[in-house]
Amino acid sequence: MQKFNSPLAAFEHWETTTPNKEYLRQYVNGELIIYTFKESGDQARRIATAIIGFNLPPKSKIALLSSNCAHWVMADLAIMMSGHTSVPIYPTLQAETIEFVLDHSEAKAIIVGKLLDFESQKSAIKNMPIISVELYGIKEEITWENLIAKEEPLQNTIKLDAEDLITIIYTSGTTGSPKGVMHTVAGFTNGAYNLMQGTPLKENPFQFLPIRRH
């Protein structure tokens, strides 16, 4: 298995070499939507262009509030492509805890995807751009779909260095205030590479779990 310098470099390799191969699949209202590497990359690159258009400071924190879904993966790619750091948030947290994570991480924007009750969580998000995915029934002023329609795909993505902060993963906060765990690019790539050395996997084993029929 080839070793890549970053998760983004791995995706871009498969996006180039196997553009028409299935990458993500998503059920919405019982119907299956399949995204190829090319389609996923195109959407991620257009969202990355939109994020750059927010004119945020370099390496800003961008939150991601969503259950597992295809758009979670594409959003994470877009954040990497635009040179920022993702802050994924548990999709079932209450507004008070979400607000704490957003404040503590100093998030400058947020992408909202597949959620069960966004209306009860929305009050936590203040003074920052919200990109919502209308496919999952959430329509804010800025929607994923509108950005996909109007933005050009980002061609020259940001190249990540080994020690760059790639994500901050917060604990659930069940035993106190959530704690943020900082992960570097090298931490992700080395861990993935070491896993693949002892585990037989397909050539491009990208996937998210679970896949639910709703």
Whether 14 has a pLDDT exceeding 70, the answer reads: yes
Burial of 155 (0-12, 13-18, 19+ CB in 10 A): exposed
Q: What is the pLDDT of residue 38?
A: 97
Mean pLDDT on 7-26: 94
Distance of alpha carbon 187 from alpha carbon 42, whole angstroms: 27
Q: What is the pLDDT of residue 192?
A: 67
Percent of the chain with pLDDT over 90: 76
Q: Work out the pLDDT band at 3, boundaries 50, 70, 90.
A: confident
Contact in structure between 8 and 157 (CB atoms under 8 Å): yes
Q: Work out the pLDDT band at 214, boundaries 50, 70, 90.
A: very low
Q: Work out the pLDDT band at 100, boundaries 50, 70, 90.
A: very high
Distance of alpha carbon 201 from alpha carbon 196, whole angstroms: 7
> Would strands 61-65 and 31-36 be described as parallel, antiparallel, or unpaired?
unpaired
pTM to 2 decimal places: 0.90
Rounded to the nearest integer, the mean pLDDT of the chain is: 90
Distance of alpha carbon 149 from alpha carbon 147, whole angstroms: 5
Neighbours of 49 (CB within 10 A): 19
Domains (ranges, CATH) in the chain?
7-198 (3.40.50.980)
pLDDT, tens digit, for every residue of 129-176?
999 999 999 999 999 999 999 999 999 998 888 899 999 999 877 777
Distance of alpha carbon 173 from alpha carbon 170, whole angstroms: 8
Whether 211 has a pLDDT exceeding 60, the answer reads: no
Q: Work out the pLDDT band at 209, boundaries 50, 70, 90.
A: very low
Q: What is the pLDDT of residue 4?
A: 86
Contact in structure between 142 and 125 (CB atoms under 8 Å): no
Q: What is the pLDDT of residue 213?
A: 38
Whether 101 has a pLDDT exceeding 90, the answer reads: yes
Mean pLDDT on 14-29: 94
